[in-house]
Amino acid sequence: MRVSVFGAGYVGLVTGACFAELGHDVVVRDVIEAKVDALRAGVVPIHEPGLDEILARNAERLTFTTDVGEAVAGAEVVYIAVGTPPTYSGDADLSDVWTVVDELPEVAHRIVLAMKSTVPVGTGRAVRHKLDDRGLQNVGYVSNPEFTAEGTAVRDFMQPDRVVIGAFDDADADVVASLHDGIRARIVRTDVASAEMVKLASNAFLMTRVSFINEIANVCEATGADVVAVAEAVGLDHRLGSHFLRAGIGYGGSCFPKDSLALKQLAANSGYNFQLLNAVIEVNELQKRRVIGKLERRLGPLRGKRIALLGLAFKPGTDDMREAPSLVLAGRLLSEGADVKAWDPVADGAAHFHGVEIAETALDALDGADAAVVVTEWPELREVDWAAARERMRGNVIVDGRNHLDPEALRALGFTYEGIGRPIL
Ligand SMILES: NC(=O)c1ccc[n+]([C@@H]2O[C@H](COP(=O)([O-])OP(=O)(O)OC[C@H]3O[C@@H](n4cnc5c(N)ncnc54)[C@H](O)[C@@H]3O)[C@@H](O)[C@H]2O)c1
């Protein structure tokens, strides 16, 4: 089939590349000319494991353009994968979505407009009305939300837990379902509003698990239990499972924070106070800041103290800095008067932090530091020569915000190690 994807971001590129891998002809359209030029030249503008390879392997089935007409010509399915960031009010900003709907040209044959962007419940209904107002009755509409996680997006797309398709018209759902031939996954068909809610509810549930285990971690800290042992045993209960039970300094990223706000706001706009979600969001905000208290207890006032931030991206495997906890942490440290030096293997620290020195290597970041904070659990951090780090640091404090490093090994090297929700020695 011929597929068009609007938006060459984290979702659009993976969607386009994976549909090409399944044998479809794909045109990816973006409004940023430099991005399209780079993609045409074989340069992938984001860090996503496996994406470069899959784009290169399917180059003859993939075209990139800024031109709407070229993107839509001959397409049977047009995907919307543009950003839906939060507005000041917390609602999702759908202006890029509406631009695509407005730009859609009249088409001679029936096409299906498929929504991959995460949107509030009711968006599909509003888009349907808009299409009808424009006389585009031969444009069908489905909600086909995306569940991939950055860092594993290609694998997640090709081996999803489920493909959700919400449609007004069964024939449109059939078209989108057949696009996924070759992917072994349960196809879940729903109405449009329910498909939209599946995405928001899934993310909210994952966030709830994160905030839940973080609160358990905080109580563990206060009572002498070890959240790592607790989470492992809790996760063995088949009714609960082990995913998203890793205590740490909170979630970030381009999806969880904005989608939780959008769901909270969606509920509020409908007259409902989503209390549990409010708590999940608040716990996460407080969790990011707990590191400051841990550092102060070890070092005293942070003015003039040198702090190394290890990892900046919101999670390993991506260069995405959107809503990364490192941003809050660095901001708090700077406002306390600390000197901050940071390292990340892929994220562009210089572009996101002012007043923070960016180091080439983790060891360089640790040079002269009073304390190190593990912010992102990059595997590289386990390979650091921590004995050498101990020599190069001015102090010996490690706050492991992801419970990523080996406490025993570090304590044996003379470090004062503190994790999240673990016994404090
Ligand atoms: N990032 C993820 O892992 C993820 C996962 C699931 C769902 N989502 C959702 O998918 C959507 C896209 O997220 P993303 O992270 O890929 O965003 P992104 O910001 O990385 O990419 C969006 C792209 O759309 C382009 N764009 C804007 N207006 C356009 C237009 N009129 N025509 C064509 N392109 C246009 C932008 O230039 C940008 O390149 C969001 O709604 C997000 O919530 C994201």
Q: Is there a catalytic annotation at residue 18?
A: no
Phi and psi at 388, nearest 5°, equal: -65, -40
11, 161, 320, best to mutate for ligand 1 pocket (most atoms within 8 Å of CB): 11
146, 154, 202, best to mutate for ligand 1 pocket (most atoms within 8 Å of CB): 146
Report helix angle 123-133 to 95-103, nearest 10: 30
Q: Which residues contact 38 (CB under 8 A, 6 or more apart)?
A: 44, 45
Q: 239 by DSSP, 3-state: which?
A: coil
Per residue of the chain (425 residues), what is the pLDDT tens digit?
Answer: 999 999 999 999 999 999 999 999 999 999 999 999 999 999 999 999 999 999 999 999 999 999 999 999 999 999 999 999 999 888 899 999 999 999 999 999 999 999 999 999 999 999 999 999 999 999 999 999 999 999 999 999 999 999 999 999 999 999 999 999 999 999 999 999 999 999 999 999 999 999 999 999 999 999 999 999 999 999 999 999 999 999 999 999 999 999 999 999 999 999 999 999 999 999 999 999 999 999 999 999 999 999 999 999 999 999 999 999 999 999 999 999 999 999 999 999 999 999 999 999 999 999 999 999 999 999 999 999 999 999 999 999 999 999 999 999 999 999 999 999 999 88
Atom of ligand 1 nearest to the CA of 13: 16
- Cα separation, 388 vs 419, in Å, equals 21
Q: What is the pLDDT of residue 424?
A: 86
- Cα separation, 326 vs 391, in Å, equals 25
**Strands 139-143 and 162-167, how do they pair?**
antiparallel
Annotated catalytic residue: which of 136, 255, 327, 420? 255
Q: What is the pLDDT of residue 148?
A: 97
pTM of the model: 0.95
Q: What is the pLDDT of residue 359?
A: 98
Q: What is the pLDDT of residue 26?
A: 98
Verify whether ligand 1 is closer than 6 Å to residue 260 (CB atom).
no
